[in-house]
Chain A
């Protein structure tokens, strides 16, 4: 089974600071069709998860461009260039390259310093 390991588990940031979250997979997430089905989600307190990024680096509609995703194979990164208050919450990476199984990382909680 695929395991996604996110680091750090907690991230303290000030408003305007740039931060990065790492997601490492136990298996390559490159699908035989050439796509890499690695997504990032944000779950604010008391809300359901909302999609931020799909296919490693593509922003979902309405997501600010201070969010960016990168990586390939087994190593992926989410970067926020200039944290804003509305960005606080728990970030999850998830994969469905190995469909139909969905796998989630353990989460990274972004808090204000």
Chain B
């Protein structure tokens, strides 16, 4: 299978750090991506891991462990504007096709 599992909701306070986990089935795995979607908006790309390890992009980092079929998105110095849905997505080939997880709704509180 090619499904992904992630928590449905996460709540954190402004300034804190939050980690959103994603586990996936290994069949035909080709990289793990993360997308952010605000209410009423289009998904926007945040980060991508093809290999094991940490990728850092400003306040956002993403980690991948292929041996554990696991990745996470780390958001630091949370801001209210980070309240959104976050999707992990896996590639199944080098074609751009992505399979998305069910999404994690992050609520940032003052």
A binds B: no
